Chain A
Amino acid sequence: MIKTEMLHFAYPTGDEVLKGIDLEIEDSEFVAIMGENGAGKTTLIKHFNGLNKPTKGRVLIDGVDTRKRSVASISRDVGLVFQNPDHQLFCETVKEEVSFSLKNFGYDEATIERRTNSILETLDLSEYCDSSPFTLSGGERKRVALASVLVWNPKHVVLDEPTIGQDYLQKDRLRNFILQLVSQRKTVIMVTHDVEFVAECKPRVLLLSRGNVVADGPAHKILSDDGLANQCSLIRPQMSSLMSSLKDLGLAQDVIDVYTARSCLLEAFRKVR
């Protein structure tokens, strides 16, 4: 479980970014952390693997205070995938890049070989195994970065803005992959402001605004709330805006994805006919 108690964080310059956050994320939960730019989302998730230590309050990963463990040690359980893969790629081949973390964690050669090949296959990167990561396209580099974190099979996976710069097909593939991780009972936490993506994944949504959690609940409730959307610089999913505009026709108001909307509208249509 990932838990924060009265978490406050301020930069050395004095600005307080997180103002008393209390949250609990159970094992195997799927959570999206959303909010406007500057709300503190990235600052918050850096606490989950110990990169940031609270200035007040505490963060507990599986019951242990993050101040008591090193980043490397916590990272074995919490894999954080950064937004920009170019902040981490440095090896001559994709294979080396992916196995870097396993070497750091002290696994033996045989295990490294086995796990690396396995994750490369899972993420469709086997054909690039001997290529230089720098020659790959943006989307491929993002997959390499993801592979290099998942290779050590962390219990909790945290993704920082995984959909930025991705086209529709890549997002589709990403969504399927994330849902696969969820079905493998991993905790998956993603920071994103891609409302439609969240609408299709339907996780639990934590809304952050100016350093505080302002909403916490299932996606269909949070994303269809107009007031919250305004507060956090979000735009409601198109389905929600559509249903809202047809409120007077008695249609359900917490619909956020296309297929549910289709069912609702078809039902209403058949009643009218």
Chain B
Amino acid sequence: MSIRMFEGFKFSKLPTPLHDMDPRAKFVLTIGIFAVALLFSNIYALSAVLLIQMPLVYMAKSTRRWMKSMKGGALLALLIFAMNFITGTSFTFLLSMTIRFLSIISSFSIFFMTTSPDDLGLALERMRIPYTLCFTFTTAVRLVPTMALDAQTVVDAQKSRGLELEKGNLLKRIRNYVPILIPLIVNAIRRSVELAEALESRAFGTTEKREPLVVLKMRLTDYLTVLTTIAFVVIAVYINLYVPLPTFDIPIRMPHIWPWMRWQP
């Protein structure tokens, strides 16, 4: 599982309509899906919310990487699921919550895979957030793949000195990560200092009044996306309040299988 899961959140430049979309429109879309996912508790509705995203993923040509974030999310969800199941929560409810969880992860995964940190920074700037903060954010995001590469090199270097990460009891395994973490941290600090030097040398922070070379412009498709998302949310609210949805109950409960939770109502 490890680092591969994060590939579902890594940006890569591809010529798809989703990549070209203004980040603000995409963000509205993501928040819309997020809101609707939180709104519904019905398993059919939640499944619909998850399924709706699949054509988006396909359009963004990021199916393989999306699957990775789904796999990671599913694993985590399984853990939560198992914990709750043992304490007696209904199977259907847990299934619904898992699907909700995956929907949310999916929507953010799509957002980060199709939005470059630079564009994100530009969007934040347009929203009047101070430039230094925007830059900090985008640089942090930009450095994630670089540091992941660093981490891999450190692991390789230490393995070449006989470090065996898989061996030993739990305590030993945790201690084995010290030779990985320290070089990583030291390198991160070194890198930051070099970055800071370069920034100073290019007059960073001289003035807040920056006119960026590239300007974000909302186009027709972006406005349409925003409107569609708002409509989507409104319809969802309506359905939630007024439309009775079919329910679905799988009658498996913990006490039935293993009646040790006597206090269950």
Contacts and interface: CB of A to CB of B under 8 A. Distances in A.
B161 A87 contact: no
Contacts of B190: 86
B158 A134 contact: no
Chain A interface residue count: which class?
A: 20 to 34
Interface of B: 150, 153-154, 156-164, 178-179, 182-183, 186-187, 190
Given A89-B186, A134-B186, A51 B164 contact: no
Nearest to A70: B164
A88 to B, nearest CB: 4
Contacts of B157: 82, 87-88
Contacts of A105: 162
Contacts of B161: 75, 88, 100-101, 104, 148-149
Given A72-B163, A104-B164, A86 B187 contact: yes
Contact of A46 (B150, B156, B162, B164): B156
Interface of A: 46, 49, 51, 70-72, 75-76, 79-80, 82, 84, 86-90, 100-101, 104-105, 134, 148-149, 152
Given A87-B153, A88-B154, A90-B178, A71 B187 contact: no
Nearest to B187: A86
B29 to A, nearest CB: 28
A75 B161 CA distance: 7
Contacts of A89: 182-183, 186
B166 to A, nearest CB: 9
A71 B179 contact: no
Contacts of A80: 160
Nearest to B191: A86
A79 B157 CA distance: 10
5 contacts: A51-B159, A75-B161, A82-B153, A84-B153, A87-B150
B159 A72 contact: yes
A49 B160 contact: yes
Nearest to A90: B182
Could you say which of B156, B182, B186 has the most chain A C-beta atoms within 10 Å of its C-beta?
A: B156
B163 A82 contact: no
B167 to A, nearest CB: 9
A101 B162 contact: yes
Contacts of B164: 70, 72, 104
Contacts of A152: 162
A64 B215 CA distance: 59
Contacts of A86: 183, 186-187, 190
Contacts of A76: 162
Contacts of B159: 51, 71-72, 75
Contacts of B183: 86-90
